[in-house]
């Protein structure tokens, strides 16, 4: 999961894989050190740094390299974050989902009204004498 979603470290599957590192690699000093460094890179004190993005990218690369090495893979660090395929449609879907979630949250918090539109079926409309449309009056019987 770490390799599959390395382009988006906020992806649920990446985070789930990340949280398994201390368990799966508890006997690997390199993986434990890389995991600690990764967590440290995402510590709040780093968010104000100018090179925050680079620090986090490098920590991700080091963690992936350590995990890969422990599993017997030789990963080229320079290629890890550059050779990634992610269809634009995926990021579009994530963006749309975030917009929908934000809209629904605003509605739930009372910050925005739920948009409602009135739609009248064409068979309920009639054209008036001046050409204006009006609702056709129909009687509905019970029973």
Cβ within 8 Å of residue 81, ≥6 positions away:
6, 7, 57, 60, 61
Cβ pair 128, 134 in contact under 8 A: yes
Q: What is the average pLDDT value for the chain, to the nearest integer?
A: 84
Q: Which of 55-64, 88-97, 110-119, 127-136 has the lowest mean pLDDT?
A: 127-136
Residue 68 within any structural domain of the chain: yes
Residue 46 within any structural domain of the chain: yes
pLDDT in tens, 16-62: 999 999 999 999 999 999 999 999 988 877 677 788 888 888 899 89
Residue 21 within any structural domain of the chain: yes
Residue 118 within any structural domain of the chain: no
Residue 75 within any structural domain of the chain: yes
């Amino acid at each position: 999961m770490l390799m599959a979603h390395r382009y988006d470290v906020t992806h649920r599957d990446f985070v789930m894989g990340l949280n398994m590192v201390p368990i799966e690699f508890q006997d690997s000093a390199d993986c434990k050190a890389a995991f600690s460094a990764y967590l440290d890179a995402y510590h709040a004190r780093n968010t104000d740094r100018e090179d925050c993005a680079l620090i986090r990218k490098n920590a991700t690369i080091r963690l992936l390299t350590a995990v890969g090495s422990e599993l017997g893979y030789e990963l080229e660090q320079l290629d890890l974050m550059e050779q990634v395929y992610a269809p634009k449609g995926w990021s579009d879907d994530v963006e749309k989902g975030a917009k929908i979630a934000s809209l629904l949250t605003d509605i739930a918090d009372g910050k925005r009204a739920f948009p409602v539109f009135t739609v009248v079926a064409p068979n309920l409309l009639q054209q008036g004498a001046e050409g204006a449309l009006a609702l056709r009056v129909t009687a509905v019987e019970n029973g």
